[in-house]
Amino acid sequence: MEILNYIFLVLIGAGAGFVQRVSGFGLGIFAMIFLPHIMSSHTDAATISSIFACVTATYNAICYRKDVEIKIALPMMCAALISIPIAVHFAAVIPGDIFKILLGVVLVALGIYFIFLNKNIKIAPTFTNGIIAGTLGGVLGGLFSTGGPPAVLYVSSATEKNITYFATIQFYFCFTNIYATTMRAINGIIHFDIIIYALIGITGCMLGDFAGRLVFNRLDSKKLKLIIYIGMLVSGIIMIV
């Protein structure tokens, strides 16, 4: 990998960490817009994104541990225990071209959802809906490292305070990404180069997280999210075509 790609890894990590800190999610979505274009395979890109999320979510979950609502996160975590290993297995055997098209479809669907439908859809914070959100999040997370949207929709509906939402969703991401990364290691997906690339990108993630903390109260997060969603939509269309 050339030095330019190392720089891109740091920048991608910084952008992903910044988005995650400002909105509570989006690290995987942001990272997977760009990582597939510089990594040798989409499986490698999803693995690196998952490692990014492991570090940032764990850090934030520890910082805000007093505000975590475990009862809300528990049904999602239980469902993810089953869905993540299945999705990771399929991610390891799906051909690269098919994986690229599937990821493109997911990015387009997520882009359309967040741009046009996000405000119109609400989910009742029930145990059953938590199981459904965890299952969908586990599948998306295991395949593409983009498992945030179903979990965010459920947790945001189940919590009243912003700090409770942020702490709980980070706790969930901490668990699911550590679990998904472990499953990837068991499936032989993680190798030495992946670890090196991830460590380089994590430097950017922590810088982005720090910057997000500084501007959290000043930034117009709605405009930032809209830019990300449009980028997601365009990137997905490019992957499909």
Mean pLDDT of the chain: 82
* 4 pLDDT above the threshold of 70: yes
Yes or no: say if 106 and 146 are a contact pair by the CB < 8 Å rule. yes
- Band (pLDDT 50/70/90 cuts) for residue 30 is confident
Residue for token pair 């969930």: 172
pTM of the model: 0.77
87/73 Cα distance (integer angstroms):
20
pLDDT tens digits along 116-150: 876 666 677 788 989 998 998 888 888 777 777 78
Token reading at 76: 């999602």
Rounded Cα gap, residues 170 and 151, in angstroms: 10
* Rounded-to-integer distance, Cα 92 and Cα 223, Å: 36
Residues in the chain: 241
* Rounded Cα–Cα distance for residues 163 and 166 (Å): 5
